[in-house]
């Protein structure tokens, strides 16, 4: 079996790109909230409802609707921007029913903790954590998304027992400035900038002290250009914030008046039309501009597992916790591997490949992380005691 690392040089040398500009726009629109969408105007046109009350859309159907024209594509962008906004979620009997159904399919990781520990017994747990919305709350100013001291202390304890990685869309240096734990692995820019721990990890070796992988290095000049163009173009939209994440660019619209979202979408579109080698995806009130190479958080997870020596192991148990659409790539990888599981942090039902759920970051810190660490601490203590008695 060819390993992921062995495939990397082949992938980058072939310069794998999505040449169709329309396909780039589809990636952002896949999870559109169809109930509010202009794509389907009559009941007969609406797609079928999947398990748990969630609407499913075929990729071919969405492609056909996106090809209607520029106005339709723009409406799709704005609809998707609305779909990422919790302010559009209203409490209704139907929503409560959907949430109950969703919880049955994605039960609380805290309530299912005993089953989780049984499944991981005798296996090496490896932790993968998103940052925004998982280790820190979602805030209006992305530069002030600080994690609490309690969360930092909990993650530090977690890393004593398990290899632990932060996988974020943010610039790796920015994430490190928030977390400030040198014993962790960091994968910034949606996994396009990976570096191992610099100290304090029993899992590191000499190779991990340097940058492990930067598959999008050739795109840095292009990303710089787009960042400057978007910064200038969006100046006229109050509240818009453009963030340079080294290998990708984020356009935050959390503080933008909803009436200005169409205007912002047009501004972003006008810049991206000149860059067919970049694609647009979307997170929680943020538009993400990324290279079209076949690399994402799921690939980063696989790379890190292989770097740690767990690529083809049956006794590894990866756990990925995240709250965003971009985390779905990692959730999907775990499902396909049939190892470990994904945990989605969300207060509302979402179509997801995660197996379990948590309501908010505090549940992860004071609940799941803390309990997992204590269980491993007890197991480690028993192992030491057993060695002493032999």
Q: Which residues are designated catalytic?
A: 130
- Measured between alpha carbons, how far is 354 from 348 in angstroms, rounded to an integer? 14
Question: What is d(CA 31, CA 80) in angstroms, rounded to the nearest whole number?
Answer: 7
Neighbouring CB atoms inside 10 A of 152's CB total: 17
Q: What is the largest CA-CA distance in the chain?
A: 75
Cα–Cα–Cα angle for 199, 200, 204, rounded to 5 degrees: 70
Are 268 and 287 in contact, with CB atoms under 8 Å apart?
A: yes
* Spacing of C-alpha 166 from chain mean position: 10
Q: Select from 169, 63, 106 the least CA-distant residue to 351.
A: 106
């Amino acid at each position: 079996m060819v390993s992921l690392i062995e495939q990397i040089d082949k992938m980058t040398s072939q310069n794998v790109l999505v040449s169709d500009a329309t396909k780039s726009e589809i990636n952002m629109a896949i999870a559109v909230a169809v109930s509010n969408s202009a794509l389907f105007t009559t009941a007969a046109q609406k797609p079928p409802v999947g398990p748990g009350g969630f609407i499913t859309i075929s990729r071919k159907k969405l492609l056909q609707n996106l090809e209607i024209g520029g106005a339709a594509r723009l409406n799709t962008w704005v609809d998707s921007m609305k779909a990422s906004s919790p302010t559009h979620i209203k409490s209704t009997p139907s929503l409560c029913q959907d949430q109950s159904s969703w919880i049955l399919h994605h039960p609380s990781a805290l309530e299912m903790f005993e089953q989780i520990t049984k499944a991981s017994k005798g296996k090496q747990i490896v932790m993968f954590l998103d940052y925004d919305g998982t280790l820190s709350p979602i805030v209006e100013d992305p530069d002030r998304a600080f994690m609490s001291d309690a969360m930092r202390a909990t993650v530090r304890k977690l890393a004593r027992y398990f290899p632990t990685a932060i996988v974020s869309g943010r610039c790796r240096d920015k994430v490190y400035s928030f977390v400030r734990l040198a014993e962790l692995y960091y994968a910034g820019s949606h996994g396009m900038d990976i570096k191992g721990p610099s100290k304090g990890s029993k899992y590191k070796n000499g190779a991990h002290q340097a940058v492990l992988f930067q598959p999008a290095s050739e795109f840095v000049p292009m990303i710089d250009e787009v960042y400057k163009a978007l910064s200038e173009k969006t100046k006229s939209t109050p509240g818009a914030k453009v963030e340079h994440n080294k290998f990708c660019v984020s356009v935050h619209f959390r503080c933008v008046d909803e009436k200005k979202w169409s205007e912002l979408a047009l501004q972003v579109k006008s810049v991206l039309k000149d860059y067919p080698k970049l694609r647009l995806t979307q997170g929680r009130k943020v538009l993400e501009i990324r290279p079209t190479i076949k690399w994402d958080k799921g690939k980063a997870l696989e790379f890190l597992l292989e770097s740690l020596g767990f690529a083809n192991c049956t006794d590894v148990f990866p756990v990925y916790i995240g709250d965003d659409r971009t985390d779905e790539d990692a959730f999907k990888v775990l499902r396909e591997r049939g190892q470990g599981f994904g945990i989605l942090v969300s207060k509302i039902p979402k179509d997801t490949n995660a197996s379990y759920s948590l309501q908010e970051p505090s549940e992860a810190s004071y609940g799941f992380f803390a309990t997992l660490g204590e269980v491993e601490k007890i197991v480690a203590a028993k192992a030491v005691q057993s060695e002493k008695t032999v």
